[in-house]
Amino acid sequence: MDFAAFVLLNAVLFIRPMEFIPAFYGLPLYNMAFCLCLFLSLPALLGKGVLRTIVFHPIGVCVLTLASTAVLSNLANGGIQDAADAFDVMSKVFLYYILLVVVVRTPARLKWFLAAMVINGCVVAGVGIADYKGIIRIPSLIVVEEMRYANGQAIPFRRLGSTGLFADPNDLGLFLVGCMINSLYLASDRSVALPLRALWLLPLGVLFMALLLTYSRAGMLTLLVALAIYGIARYGWRALLPMALALPVVLGVGGRQMEFKLSGGTGQTRVVIWDCFFSLFVQNPVLGVGYNHCLDYADQVAHNSYLHAFAELGYVGGTSFLGAVLLGLYALLRIGPLRTGRLDPALAKLWPFLLAGIGCFAFGIMSLSRCYVTPTYSILGLVAAYERMALAVSPRRPLRLGPTMIGLLLLSGVAFLLIMFVIIKKNANY
């Protein structure tokens, strides 16, 4: 029952029926589903040592530190009410992370969870496409109207968005790419009959069409990164040759979504925003400007989740977010050598897909501000749950937090800031 409740919770979180189905308008469906899931998960949560091992896992520590810093930053900068608002949001994020690791505790549940996520993505994509094409009309769905310039003429075009968490087309694009990776994994699962596996190829058409309609450069580039990571993880470095041969063709037919540069256009806009947020961090390095207070100092969000966290939460909060992502990548990489005979076959099959998922996500949020939204922690939670299952019968121990790891995490924060400083100064045209 706890797993069914968790699947329902994610359906509400990602599809958000309360935002476009009149019968659900104004209902706190997410809070209701969250409370139900928490109640049904209590026996597993209260099991001996379960909660402690999840919270004190290095990724869990980073997520908890990030949530705590969000509250402290607002106490220092915004007052008690702002701190209470930060606690309300980030405590749910942290509890969601814990619930995912507790509930998704077997390979079978992990597979079904990924299948449910693909279905959620298809619903979001299908409803969005239907509204975009005029088949149905949903006022709350976002379609962004922009202008692009060709031969000196302004050409209007529309970009597909969605509701709530995916109102920005770039955010929607990142979600769609994750669903495509999950769909490919399910289609490759040889433990299932071929006709059933083939069914999981069908969502790819809907998901990819929606991705094209977002006109998201970040989304398309993230998809290319995901395919590259999967190819290397599955076939080794020899996969680079066919990918390198195919890249010029892909770039040639991709149109706007394949135009990547920082020297002009939206790329230069990103650099200007990054410079602004880097300056905010330098002026407030300890606790930042406060959780959710960046718009008091800038016209828009950072469009870089890591830099956004550093600017709003200071060095500790920023390093915690960056560290959670880096630890997720490291946790999977150290499991890789165990795939040959030491892992459950289902988990071994999933490994390159999951690595591609978190790898492209880590790359994708370099141009998006997604450091506080729950879907980010679904990725981190999946990695923690996977490691917990994979190493349960292995002589290799899970990640443990110690002085060396803490030191490396703190250095990673310094390294990231230095890299961003170089990128900004090298590409800024002002």
Write the pLDDT tens digit of every residue in 104-130: 989 999 999 999 999 999 999 998 898
pLDDT at 182: 94
Does the pLDDT of residue 217 top 80, yes or no? yes
| Mean pLDDT calculated for residue range 51-68 | 91
pLDDT at 305: 94
pLDDT at 393: 73
What are the pLDDT digits (tens) for 278-334? 999 999 998 899 898 888 888 888 889 999 999 999 999 999 999 999 999 999 998
pLDDT at 109: 93
What are the pLDDT digits (tens) for 353-367? 999 999 999 999 998
pLDDT at 142: 74
Per DSSP, 68 falls in state H
What torsion, rounded to 10 degrees, do the Cα atoms 391, 225, 428, 284 define?
A: -20
Enumerate the domain spans of the chain.
Answer: 1-48, 65-103+262-430, 107-260
pLDDT at 355: 94
pLDDT at 153: 66
* Strand spans (E) along 113-229: 143-150, 153-160
pLDDT at 240: 65
Integer Cα distance of 209 and 122 in angstroms: 11
pLDDT at 203: 92
Does the pLDDT of residue 249 top 60, yes or no? no
Does the pLDDT of residue 140 top 80, yes or no? no
149 — pLDDT class (breaks 50, 70, 90): low
| Mean pLDDT calculated for residue range 209-226 | 88
Length of the chain counted residue by residue: 430
pLDDT at 430: 61
pLDDT at 235: 78
What are the pLDDT digits (tens) for 202-212? 999 999 999 98
pLDDT at 259: 54
Q: With 0-12 CB in 10 A as exposed, 13-18 as middle and 19+ as buried, what is 422?
A: exposed
For the packed helices 58-77 and 305-335, what is the interaxial angle rounded to 10 degrees? 170
Q: With 0-12 CB in 10 A as exposed, 13-18 as middle and 19+ as buried, what is 251?
A: middle
Position with higher pLDDT, 60 vs 395: 60
377 — pLDDT class (breaks 50, 70, 90): very high
Integer Cα distance of 18 and 27 in angstroms: 6
C-beta atoms surrounding 202 within 10 Å: 12
* Strand spans (E) along 96-233: 143-150, 153-160
What are the pLDDT digits (tens) for 22-56? 888 888 889 999 999 999 988 888 887 778 888 88
Does the pLDDT of residue 21 top 90, yes or no? no
Does the pLDDT of residue 154 top 70, yes or no? no
